Amino acid sequence: MDLYKHASDDALEAYILRTLPEMEVAPFEMHVLVCPLCLVRLAETVEFVTAMRAAAAEFERERDVPGFRADKGSAASPDGQLSLKNRD
């Protein structure tokens, strides 16, 4: 990837999603470091991806997952507990 070539939208998204080929990551980061335009675009793409993930998570939560509360007649589970905390 040419250092002076702006990152494509696909590259920005792939970088955030960690699907950008490893050999392209370093040139990409070097370009973003010296290119305010792509830095802004990267930040915007991060916001977009984050919003998409939040929307997807919301959708998953609202959808009644089969088996999730199989043994509970009343759905009185405490809300607002992020399952992310269970990681690690």
**38 touches 7 (CB < 8 A):** yes
Q: Is 12 a binder of Zn ion (CB under 5 A)?
A: no
What is the C-alpha separation between 61 and 67, in angstroms, rounded? Answer: 13
**32 touches 65 (CB < 8 A):** no
Q: How far is the CB of 22 from Zn ion (least distance, A)?
A: 20
Q: Is 1 a binder of Zn ion (CB under 5 A)?
A: no
Q: Is 35 a binder of Zn ion (CB under 5 A)?
A: yes
What is the C-alpha separation between 5 and 77, in angstroms, rounded? Answer: 51
Q: Is 6 a binder of Zn ion (CB under 5 A)?
A: yes
The greatest distance separating any two alpha carbons of the chain, rounded to the nearest whole angstrom, comes to 61
Query: Which CB, 37 or 65, lies closer to Zn ion?
Result: 37
Q: Is 25 a binder of Zn ion (CB under 5 A)?
A: no
Query: Which CB, 2 or 71, lies closer to Zn ion?
Result: 2
Using CB under 5 A as the criterion, which residues of the chain lie in contact with Zn ion when the complex forms? 6, 35, 37-38
